[in-house]
Structure 1
Amino acid sequence: MSSLDALWWLALTLQLVAIPGTLLPVLPGLIFLPLGAGLWVWAAGWITAWPTLLLACLILLLGWVADALGVLLGAARLQATRWAYIGAGLGLVVGLLGLLPALPVGGPLLGALVGPLLGATLGELVSATSALGPLGLERLRRALLVGLAVVAGMLVSRAAQFLLALLGVAGFVLLSTVLAP
């Protein structure tokens, strides 16, 4: 095996790390696509390998857009307050660190879903100006809906990033083998 082949396998391995990274918020995801493609450009040369880097950068940008849209559109439709977003972010950190005592099973992965749900719900509940209704049930219902919308947006965003990562790895394999030096 030549050194160029070894570097191709290393670049592919970096690209493959992007796939679980899109599903687990602990790992960086799509950023591994341009890193792997950049390694391949360095090894194979700019003349033949630039399309792999261009594809990886485009997919990274699309992933960032999907991430922003998933989170914003999920709760924006319900006109959530900024405290719902802050609560979701804090809840994600708390959930990933495993600081939710009611989650003995599932660990950080389940915490990544439950944490933002609780955080967004609590953030919206604290800051909501809606009528209290009987025993505050209307306010609680709205806060729960906002929490669910934030989590749904996160899940849609993760699914889009997962598909983009698969597309990026397949594109890298195709472009790097077709345009191989």
Structure 2
Amino acid sequence: MQILYWLLVLVMVVGVIGAIVPGIPGSSLIVIGVVIWGLVNGFTTGVYWALGVSLVVFLLSIGIDYLAAYLGAKRAGASNWAQIGAIVGLILATLGLLPALPFGGPIIGILFGPLLGAIIGEFLYQRELETSLRLKQAFRAGIGIVVGSVVGRLIQGILAIAAVIVFLWQTLPQLIAGY
């Protein structure tokens, strides 16, 4: 039972990493780990607490992804075109349709995809401005979206760590008492 417990904790740690690093499953892995532990060991009060917290973190993570990028874009004065471009860039990077980078592979591509998409989208939107001002606004919009996304990822990482701590706090004493 201890081996399974620590394997599930390892899966949850991968979930914490995934909450921060794009392209790796995040808080969903934490929920899966808690559910598996509950199914195998029984849904005690501690497991219910851990499951509740991990589900709240999972739902917040979904909202934080969108809200952080949106707020970063709005703070930088980005248009809807920049936001659509960022989404298209993220999809293209996730599917591997952007040119391969010499370092970092797809994870770096997932960061550069939204940046490039937002820059292109904003550049196309700002047609009435002269080229230098268009470029300046396009870069500002791209950076705003990426900074917002990075801040959102950091918040998700903190929430994921909290969910794993609650799981350990609620279940580890039962595991130790059982052996």
Q: TM-score, normalised by structure 2?
A: 0.85
Cα deviation, residue 96, structure 1? 4.0
* % same residue: 37
For residues 84-103 of structure 1, the aligned pairs below 5 Å read 84-101=82-99, 103=101
CA contact (8 A) 1:13 1:36 kept: no
Q: Secondary structure at the match of 1:28?
A: coil
Q: Structure 1 residues 102, 172: closer, same or farther in 2, change over 3 A?
A: closer
Ranges in structure 2 where 5+ consecutive residues have no aligned partner: none
Cα deviation, residue 51, structure 1? 1.1
CA contact (8 A) 1:7 1:43 kept: no
For residues 1-181 of structure 1, the aligned pairs below 5 Å read 4-48=1-45, 49-101=47-99, 103-128=101-126, 131-133=128-130, 136-180=131-175
C-alpha distance in 2 between matches for 1:177 and 1:100: 44
Cα deviation, residue 97, structure 1? 4.7
Q: TM-score, normalised by structure 1?
A: 0.84
Cα deviation, residue 7, structure 1? 3.4
Cα deviation, residue 54, structure 1? 0.9
RMSD value over aligned CA atoms?
2.1
C-alpha distance in 2 between matches for 1:60 and 1:102: 31
Q: Secondary structure at the match of 2:23?
A: coil
Q: Secondary structure at the match of 2:27?
A: coil
Letter in 1 for 2:38: V
Q: Deviations over 1:125-179 (max 9, x none)?
A: 11235x423xx21122111110110110111111111122222222211111135
C-alpha distance in 2 between matches for 1:25 and 1:42: 29
Ranges in structure 1 where 5+ consecutive residues have no aligned partner: none
